[in-house]
Chains A and B, each alone.
Chain A
Amino acid sequence: MINIQDIRDTARDLLAKGEVRAVIGWRAGSRGMPAEPVVITAPEQADELVWDPTCYHNLALHLVEDRKFLAHARKTAGAPIGIIAKGCDARAIVVLMQENYFKREDVYIIGVSCEGSGMIAEWKVARQLDGAVPTAAAFAGDEFAFATAAGEKRLPAREVMADRCLECRNPFPKEHNVALGEDKTGRALEAPFAALARFETRSEGERWEFWQRQFDRCIRCFACRSVCPMCYCEECVVDSINIAVAPETTAEEKANRIRWIERSAVKSENITYHMTRAIHLAGRCVDCGECERVCPVNIPLRLLNNKMEREARERFGYEPGASIGGPSLVASFRDDDPGAFIR
């Protein structure tokens, strides 16, 4: 099990030596739990860092935010930035590097293995604890330990872990500068794509019934997109309102923005948005599950992305986040890609 002091020491050390200009990590949230992302810039802040089963945020997003932040402040990066990364965070970082969003040497990855465990799903915890509100969560082997008003409560990890973590194929951050914790790649708490497989047993009519209900609820807050490290575009194609403003953006370009969909949160527009996003994430989504977690109206967005991921894997032998150098899924092909659907 990872000792939090190791993470703090590593971060402190890097900052003290000036090897990184900041470290992106987690600290305790204002209510104790869940943890929240933090960017620390001074060695003494290292003691704020935490590592617990509520560190679910994909910190790769904050690398993107950092780049945007620098661009906005018209600053150049200078020293690399440090980041604490779980398996999925590290995969996301790989995709971002594959897409040249930043260079390998710009990032110092402090990998943390989820080992045999993972992140909790808050709703599962709430269900199990019957209303008791925990103020902290900690890894405890095969269990999680929760601090509640009534004292510590332990729950088996498998019962309260997020689905994405149960199905996780590689809980170890392969790409890293330093890695903490044991590599338990291949552990299978649940079969990969298990939820997807269950869903796919439904008929066409049932699938539509399901999805239309889900999409109908979407309020188009775009949190799913905001939280996604891969949705780093200056202007999302489905945004009919955003304006990518760079010195080069001409009046012409602004006048000719395509309105693929409208801003109205109605079913058709919501669906088009989500289909677009699923397609755009094919071969890029690393299944960190953040979109699904943040959706305020509980739309099971992971299913969509999982579907694309499994297609990529099974039909095209493609694994997102596997290599920095390889070609992107939709920019490449193999001679024997399936074509039986074509008449």
Chain B
Amino acid sequence: MSEQQPYEPKIVAFLCKWCSSAGSDLAGVSRIQYPANATPITVPCSGSMSPMYILSAFNKGADGVLVSGCHIGDCHYMEGNFLARRKLHLVKELLQFIGVEENRFRMSWVSAAEGAKYAQVVKDFVEDLRPLGSQEKLKAQRT
């Protein structure tokens, strides 16, 4: 990537297998274009999101982390997203508390039917991350 090109935030997107991953598939089937910044990792359920994954992604240099699951009440595993909501609320609060920009961590509910929404979520996230520049606060210092 040459110098002139705009800064491209690196996003790790954790998608639940049933809703959000299917939602992103639908975005594909519908050919809705969105930025290529977010690399998806499919997890069984948003409830399987260990806070460690988020911390680890930042530690490995992610500029933003997205967690997306089924809407409340629609969890394929019934309650996973309820658990995720509570757990990740804490993670989000903590990140903000230590002074990491609020916009670096995002959570959304995207159903299997919401291809357009998934695309929009990624678009918005990328736009919100762009002004923040690359994430150095939590990134591992290994030199």
Contact = CB atoms under 8 A, between A and B. Distances in A.
A–B contact with Cβ pairs below 8 Å: the answer is yes
A341 B89 contact: yes
B97 A268 contact: no
Which among A200, A237, A307 has the highest number of chain B CB atoms within 10 Å? A307
Contact of B108 (A200, A204, A271, A342): A342
B59 A279 contact: no
Interface stretch (A13-21, A45-53, A134-142, A331-339): A331-339
A268 B141 contact: yes
A267 B141 contact: yes
Which among B98, B102, B124 has the highest number of chain A CB atoms within 10 Å? B98
Interface string B107-140: 1110000000000010010000000000001111
Contact of A208 (B91, B92, B99): B99
A205 interface: yes
B101 A333 contact: no
Interface stretch (A78-86, A89-97, A153-161, A258-266): A258-266
Nearest to B58: A272
Given A208-B137, A341-B89, A341-B107, A307 B99 contact: no
B90 A271 contact: no
Is the interface on chain A under 10, 10 to 19, 20 to 34, or 35 or more residues?
A: 35 or more
A275 interface: yes
A282 B82 contact: no
Nearest to A261: B59
Contact of B91 (A207, A261, A279, A331): A279
A342 B98 contact: no
B107 A268 contact: no
B52 A237 contact: yes
B59 A272 contact: yes
B92 A341 contact: yes
B96 A343 contact: no
B72 interface: yes
A105 interface: no
Contact of B97 (A207, A260, A329, A342): A207
Contacts of B140: 261-262, 266, 268-269
Interface in B25-81: 51-52, 55-56, 58-59, 72, 79
B82 to A, nearest CB: 4
B83 A333 contact: yes
A211 B98 contact: yes
A343 B98 CA distance: 22
Contacts of B141: 266-269
Contacts of A308: 90, 93-94
A276 B100 contact: no
Contacts of A311: 89-90, 93
19 contacts: A208-B98, A209-B99, A212-B137, A260-B52, A262-B140, A266-B141, A268-B139, A268-B140, A272-B138, A276-B51, A279-B91, A307-B93, A308-B94, A316-B86, A333-B86, A335-B82, A337-B89, A341-B107, A342-B108
Given A208-B137, A308-B93, A312-B90, 15 more contacts: A204-B101, A211-B99, A266-B141, A275-B51, A275-B55, A275-B98, A304-B94, A304-B98, A307-B93, A307-B94, A311-B90, A330-B86, A333-B85, A343-B108, A343-B109
Interface of B: 51-52, 55-56, 58-59, 72, 79, 82-83, 85-87, 89-102, 106-109, 121, 124, 137-142
